[in-house]
C-alpha cells in the first residue's frame, strides 16, 4: 500500500523558501516517515522569479496570491517563509481553513500578534509548528541529552552570542530586515530569537531580563524596485536617497532563569569576520558544553568526573548513530550541514502529523520566545529589569 500523502503550500521562495523546499525534497530520502510531502503549490508576489523558483525547487504549481493557497481544499499544510509582517495574517487565515500551519521564526512582529496566532490555532484545533531549526542539529540534540542525563549537574550559566557582519558597510541598503514595520526588530528578533529558543530548550524558562541596544548606522540608501523589461524580473536598485533605520543593529541582554541560572545574550550584525557566528556555552556543577554553529557537527564537553590527569574539553563529532538524527544521515564522521537542520525539522513535523501529536517546537514556543523578546525591548526603553509575566 502506498504511503499517505500530505499536500504542502509554501509561501515565500527565497532564502527560507529554498531551505524548506530542500527539506521537503530530501526528507523521504533520509527518513522513513509514514507520510510523504507533496510539493503542491509555491507562492510569491512576482510571477517571473516565482516561476524560476517553481521549476528549480520542483513545485507542481505556483500562485502569486497567498489567499488562494489558503482557500484551496487540496492543501493540507501551509508553510510560511515570508518576512515576519505577513506571518500573523497568513497563519490566522490558514488556521480558520483548518490547515496545519508551519511558520518561520520569529513567530510574529509583536507579542500581541503572537497571542492572536496562538489563539487562532488553538480555536480551530489545527496542528502548528515554528521553525527553530537549530534544535534539530545532532550536536544540539546531544547537548539536550547530556543535560537531561544530569551530566552538567545544576546549571549555573548560559552565555550565548549570535554574531554577523553583513550590514557593516554604511552604504548597504535599507532592506526589509532593517525596517521595523516589516521585520519587527533588527538583530534582536532575527538572531536573539534563536538564542532565546535555545536557552528555553536547554536551560529552562526565563524569569527576568535587562537589555541594551544600539543602531550604529542610522540612515541607509533606499531601495527602489524596477521591472527589467528584458527579463521580466523585478530588480532592486540603490537610490541616492536615504531612509531611517528604525531597528537595532545590536542588542545585548542579561537574564535570570526560573531555575536560578543566569545568562548573557548578544546579537549583532556588526561583528567583522563573523558570518553566522552562533556560539554558546553552558556551565553546570558537573561540567560544561560549548557549541559553535560554524562547526555544527561538534559539541565540546568537559566533565568534572574525569580523572584530573585527563581533564579537559573533549570535542565530540555528533555523527555517531547514537546521536539524535545522525543514524538517518551518513556513516559516522561523514558530517552534515546547515540545510540538514531543516530536513530534520520537517521529518519531526511529518512524524508528529502522522502520529497525531502536536509538533515541537510550536506556536507556544514561538509566543514564549516573543514574550522574552518583548520584555528585553521594554527593559531597554525603561532602563530597568523586567520580569517575564507569561500569559500562556
Ligand atoms: N530558521 C532560520 O534559520 C531562518 C533563517 C533566515 C530567515 N528566517 C526567517 O524566515 C523568514 C523569511 O526570511 P528569508 O530570509 O527567507 O526572507 P527572503 O527575503 O529571502 O524571502 C522572503 C520571501 O517572502 C516572499 N513574500 C513576501 N511578502 C509576501 C506576500 N505578501 N505574499 C507572498 N510572498 C511574500 C518574498 O517574495 C520572498 O520569496 C523570516 O521570518 C526570517 O526571520 C529563518
For 170-229, how does the pLDDT look when each residue is reduced to its tens digit (9 = 90+)? 999 999 999 999 999 999 999 999 999 999 999 999 999 999 999 999 999 999 988 777
* CA 355 remoteness from chain centre: 24
The CATH number of whichever domain residue 301 belongs to comes to: 3.30.360.10
Per-residue pLDDT band for 234 (boundaries 50, 70, 90) equals confident
Task: Round the average pLDDT of the chain to a whole number and report it.
Answer: 97
Q: Are residues 122 and 154 in the same domain?
A: no
Cα gap 9→42, rounded to integer Å: 6
Task: With 0.85 as the threshold, say if the pTM is over it.
Answer: yes
Q: Which domain holds residue 308?
A: 138-295+297-336+368-386
What residue's CA is closest to ligand 1, atom 6? 16
Q: Do the domain assignments include residue 63?
A: yes
pLDDT at 261: 98
Q: Are residues 224 and 310 in the same domain?
A: yes
pLDDT at 1: 63
Final residue belonging to a domain, choices 99, 134, 169: 134
Residue whose CB lies within 8 A of the most ligand 1 atoms, among 45, 59, 83, for a mutation test: 83
Q: Are residues 289 and 205 in the same domain?
A: yes
Query: Measured in Å, how far apart are the chain's first and last C-alpha atoms?
Result: 42
- C-alpha 103 to ligand 1 mean position (Å): 10
pLDDT at 230: 73
The angle that helices 111-123 and 363-382 make with each other, rounded to 10 degrees, is 160
Q: Do the domain assignments include residue 362?
A: no
Q: Is the pLDDT of residue 232 over 90?
A: no
Final residue belonging to a domain, choices 89, 112, 134: 134
Q: Do the domain assignments include residue 86?
A: yes
Residue located via cell numbers 525596517: 179
For 282-310, how does the pLDDT look when each residue is reduced to its tens digit (9 = 90+)? 999 999 999 999 999 999 999 999 999 99
Among 134, 130, 195, 138, CA closest to 161: 195
Q: Are residues 89 and 106 in the same domain?
A: yes
Contact (CB, 8 A) for 11 and 90? yes
- C-alpha 177 to ligand 1 mean position (Å): 10
- Ligand 1: does its nearest atom lie under 6 Å from the Cβ of 79? no
Q: Is the pLDDT of residue 237 over 90?
A: no
CA atoms within 13 A on the CB side of 135: 25
Q: Are residues 47 and 157 in the same domain?
A: no
- C-alpha 86 to ligand 1 mean position (Å): 9
Q: Are residues 321 and 279 in the same domain?
A: yes
Total count of domains within the chain: 2
- Ligand 1: does its nearest atom lie under 6 Å from the Cβ of 82? yes
Q: Are residues 126 and 142 in the same domain?
A: no
Q: Do the domain assignments include residue 357?
A: no
- Ligand 1: does its nearest atom lie under 6 Å from the Cβ of 157? no
Final residue belonging to a domain, choices 75, 104, 134: 134
pLDDT at 203: 98
- C-alpha 341 to ligand 1 mean position (Å): 17
- Ligand 1: does its nearest atom lie under 6 Å from the Cβ of 369? no
Q: Which atom of ligand 1 is nearest to the CA of 176?
A: 19
All 3 cell numbers of residue 238? 540603490
Q: Do the domain assignments include residue 41?
A: yes
CA atoms within 13 A on the CB side of 24: 26
What strands lie across the sheet with 100-104, from one edge to the other?
Answer: 61-63, 35-43, 4-11, 77-80, 100-104, 128-131
What residue's CA is closest to ligand 1, atom 23? 12
Cα gap 373→348, rounded to integer Å: 26
CA atoms within 13 A on the CB side of 37: 30
The CATH number of whichever domain residue 76 belongs to comes to: 3.40.50.720
Cα gap 279→380, rounded to integer Å: 24
Q: Are residues 272 and 181 in the same domain?
A: yes
Q: Do the domain assignments include residue 149?
A: yes
Q: Are residues 239 and 117 in the same domain?
A: no
Contacts of 49 (CB under 8 A, 6+ apart): 13, 233, 234
- C-alpha 339 to ligand 1 mean position (Å): 16
Quick one: DSSP state of residue 189?
A: I
Q: Do the domain assignments include residue 205?
A: yes
Among 266, 246, 257, 138, CA closest to 191: 266
Cα gap 280→292, rounded to integer Å: 7
Q: Are residues 182 and 275 in the same domain?
A: yes
Which string of DSSP letters, residue by residue, matches 51-83?
A: HHHHHHHT-SEEES-HHHHHT-TT--EEEE-S-
Q: Are residues 92 and 215 in the same domain?
A: no
Q: Are residues 13 and 155 in the same domain?
A: no
Q: Do the domain assignments include residue 303?
A: yes
pLDDT at 390: 93
Amino acid at each position: 500500500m502506498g504511503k499517505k500523502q500530505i499536500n504542502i503550500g509554501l509561501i515565500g521562495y527565497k532564502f527560507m523558501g529554498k531551505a524548506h523546499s530542500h527539506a521537503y525534497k530530501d526528507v523521504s530520502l533520509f527518513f522513513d516517515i509514514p507520510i510523504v510531502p507533496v510539493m503542491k503549490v509555491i507562492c510569491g508576489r512576482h510571477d517571473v522569479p516565482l516561476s524560476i523558483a517553481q521549476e528549480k525547487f520542483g513545485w507542481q504549481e505556483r500562485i502569486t496570491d497567498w489567499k488562494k493557497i489558503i482557500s484551496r481544499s487540496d492543501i493540507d499544510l501551509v508553510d510560511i517563509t515570508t518576512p515576519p509582517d505577513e506571518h500573523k495574517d497568513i497563519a490566522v487565515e490558514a488556521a480558520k481553513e483548518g490547515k496545519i500551519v508551519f511558520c518561520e521564526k520569529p513567530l510574529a512582529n509583536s507579542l500581541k500578534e503572537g497571542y492572536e496566532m496562538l489563539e487562532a490555532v488553538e480555536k480551530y484545533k489545527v496542528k502548528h509548528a515554528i521553525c527553530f531549526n537549530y534544535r534539530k542539529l545532532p550536536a544540539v540534540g546531544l547537548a539536550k541529552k547530556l543535560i537531561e542525563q544530569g551530566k552538567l549537574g545544576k546549571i549555573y550559566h548560559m552565555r550565548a552570542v549570535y554574531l554577523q557582519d553583513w550590514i557593516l558597510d554604511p552604504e548597504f541598503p535599507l532592506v526589509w530586515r532593517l525596517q521595523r514595520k516589516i521585520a519587527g526588530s533588527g538583530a534582536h528578533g532575527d538572531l536573539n530569537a534563536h538564542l532565546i529558543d535555545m536557552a528555553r530548550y536547554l536551560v529552562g524558562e526565563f524569569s527576568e531580563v535587562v537589555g541594551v541596544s544600539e543602531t550604529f548606522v542610522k540612515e541607509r540608501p533606499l531601495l527602489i524596485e524596477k521591472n527589467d523589461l528584458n527579463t521580466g524580473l523585478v530588480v532592486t536598485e540603490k537610490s541616492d536617497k536615504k531612509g531611517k533605520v528604525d531597528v537595532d543593529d545590536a542588542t545585548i541582554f542579561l537574564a535570570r532563569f526560573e531555575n536560578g541560572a543566569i545568562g548573557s545574550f548578544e546579537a549583532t550584525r556588526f561583528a567583522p569576520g563573523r558570518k553566522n557566528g552562533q556560539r554558546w556555552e553552558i556551565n553546570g556543577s558537573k561540567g560544561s558544553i560549548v557549541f559553535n554553529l560554524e562547526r555544527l557537527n561538534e559539541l565540546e564537553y568537559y566533565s568534572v568526573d574525569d580523572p584530573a590527569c585527563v581533564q579537559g574539553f573533549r570535542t565530540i563529532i555528533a555523527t555517531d548513530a547514537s546521536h539524535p538524527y545522525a543514524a538517518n544521515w551518513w556513516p559516522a564522521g561523514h558530517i552534515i550541514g546547515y540545510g540538514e537542520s531543516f530536513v530534520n525539522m520537517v521529518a519531526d513535523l511529518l512524524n508528529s502529523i502522522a502520529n497525531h501529536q502536536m509538533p515541537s517546537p510550536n506556536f507556544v514556543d514561538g509566543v514564549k520566545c516573543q514574550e522574552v523578546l518583548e520584555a528585553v525591548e521594554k527593559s531597554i526603553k525603561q532602563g530597568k529589569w523586567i520580569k517575564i509575566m507569561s500569559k500562556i
